[in-house]
Chain A
Amino acid sequence: MIQQLEQSADEPSVWVPRALCSLVIEVNFIGQDPAIVDPMETYEKPDDRLPLMVFGPLSLLIAGTPIVVDGMRIPVPRLAGSVLEKLVTDRTGEKGDRDLLVVIGLLSMITDADYDELQHIYDATSPELRHAIRSNLAILSLIDARPGMPDPRPQRAAVARLLARLEAP
């Protein structure tokens, strides 16, 4: 049951607050299909009530420990899969750079155990996806800071270490 929200006229999988519900944020419903991981396998799941985009790279996400905010448990993904999902999802333009900068924020929190997990997931992906991950890391290392986004410059060393690790034979 979806309450206090109504379907966006612009995008059927996005539900926006009804006019008077200013404390409610919009919700973007997306689908995860564990049978696919490649972006090329992304598909539309039609439904009269809630049609969804099912994105292949979302299968890289693994459920982490939920966080609790005001007594509400909010599911969050583990860091390693989140980093890789951001890096395999092709993005373009200003929005693409800003999306990629999210990886910088994630790398600032990542632990050695997360790096090991990231390597494990990376090794299981296709050569094309591994190339996309390395390519986007290199781009990330060279893009400018954006207002309101994590600054990539202090994390360039972490990006370089990760690239070196992923490129190691």
Chain B
Amino acid sequence: MTHAERVKHIHARVRIQRWEFRQRRLAHGAWHRFRLALAAAREAHAIDEPTFAALVAEGFAPDDRGKGLEPARDIVWITADRAARLTDATPLAMRLDAAMLGARVLALVAFE
């Protein structure tokens, strides 16, 4: 690749970054917001909707950063103690793999 081609390639990538920046509060920014939520989490657990509702009813905070995805993801932040007492929950590796992306409802534990 010549230098001129590299410059052209870099500028094209920056234009995409600029578009992503303008999208940060719009549709495409949904992935950015979802990743930020996961990055703040020490643990993630796939849970079902009744468990999600119960956790919110217990006072744990829901997070709307999964709402922009299709299908939307429900996220609730819980404590490590509460995570240890979850039943019917599947612990997830903290990476964007098929298991994480396939989970519709997530309980996250923040770093201390």
Q: Which residues of A contact B (CB under 8 A)?
A: 11-13, 38-40, 42-44, 46, 51-53, 90, 92, 127-128, 131-132, 134-135, 137-139, 141-144, 153, 156-157, 159-161, 163-164, 167
Contacts and interface: CB of A to CB of B under 8 A. Distances in A.
Interface in B14-49: 14-18, 20-21, 24, 32, 35-36, 38-42
B21 A128 contact: yes
A34 B112 CA distance: 39
Contacts of B14: 38-40, 90
Q: Which 4 A-B pairs have the closest CB atoms?
A: A141-B39, A138-B35, A44-B3, A138-B39
Nearest to B8: A44
A131 B21 CA distance: 7
Interface residues of B, number: 30
Interface in B59-104: 94-96
Contacts of A13: 3
Contact of A42 (B1, B11, B24, B36): B11
Contacts of B1: 11
A139 B17 CA distance: 14
B11 A141 contact: no
Given A40-B14, A161-B111, A142 B39 contact: yes
Contacts of A38: 14
A144 B96 CA distance: 9
A132 B35 contact: no
Contact of B35 (A11, A127, A135, A153): A135
Given A131-B24, A132-B17, A132-B21, A139 B35 contact: yes
A15 B8 CA distance: 23
Given A138-B35, A160-B111, A163-B36, 20 more contacts: A38-B14, A39-B17, A42-B10, A42-B11, A53-B6, A53-B7, A90-B13, A128-B18, A131-B21, A132-B17, A135-B35, A138-B39, A142-B95, A142-B96, A144-B95, A156-B94, A156-B111, A157-B42, A160-B40, A163-B39
Contact of B36 (A40, A134, A153): A134
A41 to B, nearest CB: 9
